[in-house]
Structure 1
Amino acid sequence: MTRFSGRPHDSVTAIPSKSAAHRYMICAALAQGRSVIRGLPGELPDDLTATLDCIRALGAAAVFRDDTLEITGINAKPDVLRLDCRDSGATYRLLYPVAPLIGGRAEFMLSPSLAARPMEPVTELLKSKGVAAEKLSVSGSFGPGEFPIRGDVSSQYISGLLLALSLLEGESRIRLTTPLQSKSYVELTRASLSAFGGESQWMGQDTILVKPRRLKAADVTVEGDYTHASLFLAAGAVYGPVTVTGLDPGSIQGDRAMLSILDRMGARVDMGGGSVTVSPGRLRGIDVDVSDTPDLAPAIALAALAAEGSTVVKNGGRLRFKECDRISAIATELKRLGADIDEAPDGFTIRGGGKLHGAACLCHNDHRIAMLLIMAAGLCGGIELNGAECVSKSAPGFFDEYRQLGGSIS
């Protein structure tokens, strides 16, 4: 057990966007020539390490120095690819449809929690194209055409197809059979491909046209991560002013929506000079639809604990298929602290402003749950947390950030 206490405030620098880095790394591996990816953390989080290991297994050469990664596109094509995705859903889902176009057979190694997450929409689609597709292996190439797939299970399915279809010789169409959720992540993939010479365009509301383009090496810089910053921004609304530097105010990251959510709740949000400062106000509960921003649920929960009235988080059913069932984990662990919270099938309701107390909590092996509980420690006089090291999945420097903001770890 590790004890956390303190009321975070002050200033911290945003870490590089994990979502953007995954996509740049894969695009660079698929491109001709040597690409340079700048602005990475000195110590890669576990998920990005998984992607780096996998693109090397695909045949790309990669050299990491300080904050810069140089990647030379795939040259050798092994007959059998063994890809250890660890616990990284992005690594697995982005590379799954790409792998059979690179080598003869790809075998995937997944953590137990990742193996339990759904993949059937992709495996069934590829089977319809003549590919031998199972959860842990895929083999057999496929050609251009129409690719119908659900848009409401994981946007990573669509992102993986965008990457794969860019490699084919003819035009393809991704047709969404259900409304797309987390569209911003698909747009991030399209923007990443564009930086490497790829081309795609929307045709109406439910179809993406993917044009065949040979990807070319590029020099790109990873922007600051709004998802990771969201808990720090929420802490600014709860405890005292927090400034996060290194965030692009014009970013297409969907989780930039945390700024408008905090503003609606009554916090003061100031932007300028590449930084965002959030200060306390009279926080009030609101309704938040997280269908496009499910990863913001923990940060919204933190702000809701200190808000007057009810905060309702809804349309977040996909949260049940993350590293853990995040809806259940948030409800279970915040109840340990004395929170008034009700769980719903697709979200939760928090009635804030009540008195909280310290407790021993569990992380559920989920980095986002661990970070939420650590940041909530200041509201309840401190907590004891088992398994907090899981934060390394996305932010190995999180404990240093917490101390920098005035938190205490013992």
Structure 2
Amino acid sequence: MNNVKIVPSTLNGEITIPPSKSMSHRAIICASFSEGISEIHNIALSDDIIATLDAMKSIGVEILDIQQDTSTGTNKVIVRGTRNFEVKNEIIDCKESGSTIRFLIPIVTLTNDKITVTGRGRLVERPLDTYYNIFDKQQLKYTNNNGKLPLTLEGKIQSGIFEIEGDVSSQFITGLLFTLPVLDEDSKIIITTELESKGYVDLTIDILQKFGIEIINNNYREFIIKGNQTYKSRDYKVEGDYSQAAFWIVAGTLVGGIKCKDLDISSLQGDKAVIDIVREMGGNISEYEDGIEVKASKTKGVVIDASQCPDIIPVLSVLASLSEGTTKIINGKRLRIKESDRLTSTATELNKLGADIEELEDGLIIKGKDKLKGGVTVDSWNDHRIAMALGIASIKCEESIVITNSNSVTKSYPNFWDDFKKLGGNIDEWSMGK
């Protein structure tokens, strides 16, 4: 169990934002479908990305090399894809990566062989009913542990019409969008309720197009997928991750003077909404060709709709806790089925630091304060975004804090604590063993 003790200090300087985890998953999978060799540049080997790389190797994709760029600390992944997946490992461990398992499940059926997917932590319990309903309709053989992982599949998904609820997870839609174009016949995905996290679907459609696959999007109500399409190998560079930049954007707003480099200002990432939300709260953010600069600002409470950007809610709750007036987080029910129940974990841990947060069924009511007290031990709930949000909260505490399970950041941002220190953070790390 790793822990950090943080003494409150001002953060300032420049930080290179790590590559987008969402886009890294997608690029690796598209390259895996492409005959020939693709080079994927600017990859961070977080736990989730390693899970996807290992998963693709398990169905016959060759990861020819992983080369580190010493100037950036990121990696180039060289992939030889295939049109004909085959089972190389009958059990695929998706670790704690929700993206990996939800993207992977329809893909592994293309092997038309028996295969088991499993995971760890809360991933074991995260819902997969959308896929179970499809399997029941198509009479695919599958078994699970009372609806939980491990899931054993046998048989190949068929083209056709797929009715998907839009307020569960866009990851199911993405998994189908990867898989359906290579089937012989045309398919259609019909969204039966308002689609949440549209930005993630936009990312999928955009990267599919870059790898030669066309998807017709009819106003997010239905997606038309022609069959018998072919992925084309290519070189691809992953852009910086707005969901990770959000932590430094909030830190800069609270204490000032942080420049976030390697961000695409024209990005389709849904979490780019952090810029508009922080500006609405009063934040001073300037845009440059390769990123943004954030200056200290007096902020006020607003209403934040979590439906399109759930991953940035924990750190926005930190900013709300230190903003004048009241902030309301609405439409946040899906936050309950993340790595932790993020409505509960966010409210519980920030309240320990002295925040004033009321938890609702699908949101939070946050009454802002000038400072947080600190002087306590808080826990990450083994959730990377909670750990990082608490780290940012520490800079506005009156006393030092201890965060337990702080190494949960390796799930998405392995160098987070190093970057925190580079910007001036005062951290002591230690391990208490198992």
State the TM-score, normalized to the length of structure 1: 0.97
Q: Which residue of 1 aligns with 2:107?
A: 98
Among residues 197, 210, 219, which one is paired with 1:195 in the alignment?
Answer: 210
SS in 1 for 2:299: coil
* Corresponding residue SS for 2:307: coil
In structure 2, the residue matched to 1:4 is 6
The answer to whether the Cα contact below 8 Å between 1:80 and 1:104 also exists between their aligned partners in 2 is no
Deviation at 1:48, TM superposition (A): 0.2
Q: Which residue is 2:323 aligned to?
A: 307
Q: Percent identity?
A: 36
CA drift at 1:80: 6.2
Matched pairs, number: 408
Residue of structure 1 aligned with 2:175, choices 155, 160, 169:
160
One-letter amino acid matched to 2:216: Q
What's the TM-score once normalised by structure 2's chain length? 0.92
Larger mean CA deviation between 77-86 and 338-347 belongs to: 77-86
**What is the CA distance between 1:364 and its match in structure 2?**
0.3
Whole-Å separation in 1 of the counterparts to 2:359 and 2:224: 39
CA–CA distance in 2 between the matches of 1:373 and 1:112? Answer: 21
Give the 3-state SS of the residue equivalent to 1:151 in structure 2. Answer: coil
In 2: Cα distance, 1:23 partner to 1:203 partner: 22
Query: Gaps (5+ residues) in structure 2?
Result: 69-74, 145-150, 429-434
Post-superposition offset of 1:112: 3.0
Which residue number in structure 2 is paired with residue 36 of structure 1?
39
- CA 1:76/1:305 → structure 2, altered by over 3 Å: closer, same or farther? closer
Give the letter aligned to residue 423 of structure 2.
Answer: L
Whole-angstrom CA distance in 1 between matches of 2:281 and 2:87:
53
Give the secondary structure class of the aligned counterpart of 2:182.
coil
Q: Equivalent residue for 1:368?
A: 385
Q: What RMSD, in angstroms, separates the aligned Cα atoms of the two structures?
A: 1.3
TM-superposed deviation, 1:355 = 3.8
Pairing partner for 1:124 from 118, 124, 133: 133
Contact 2:87–2:115 (CA<8 Å) still a contact in 1?
no
Q: Does 1:60 align with 2:61?
A: yes
Please give the alpha-carbon distance, in whole angstroms, between the structure 2 residues aligned to 1:360 and 1:79: 45
1:341 aligned counterpart, secondary structure: strand
- 1:254 and 2:256 aligned: no
Q: Secondary structure at the match of 1:291?
A: helix
Cα 1:138/1:268, change in 2 over 3 Å:
same
1:390 corresponds to: 408
Contact 2:58 2:88 in 1 (8 A): no
2:352: which partner in 1?
336
TM superposition shift of 1:382: 2.2
Indicate yes or no: 2:47 matched with 1:46: yes
Q: How far apart, CA to CA, are the structure 1 residues paired with 2:87 and 2:256?
A: 54
Report 1:220-259 matches (<5 A): 220-259=236-275
* Contact 1:86 1:110 survives alignment (8 Å): yes
Q: SS where residue 372 of structure 2 aligns?
A: coil
Instruction: Find 1:269's aligned residue among 262, 285, 290.
Output: 285
How far residue 270 of structure 1 moved from its aligned partner, in angstroms, is 0.1
Runs of 4+ in structure 1 off by over 3 angstroms are none
Equivalent of 1:148 in 126, 146, 163: 163
Secondary structure in 1 aligned to 2:308?
A: coil
Question: How far, CA to CA, are the matches of 1:246 and 1:80 in structure 2?
Answer: 37
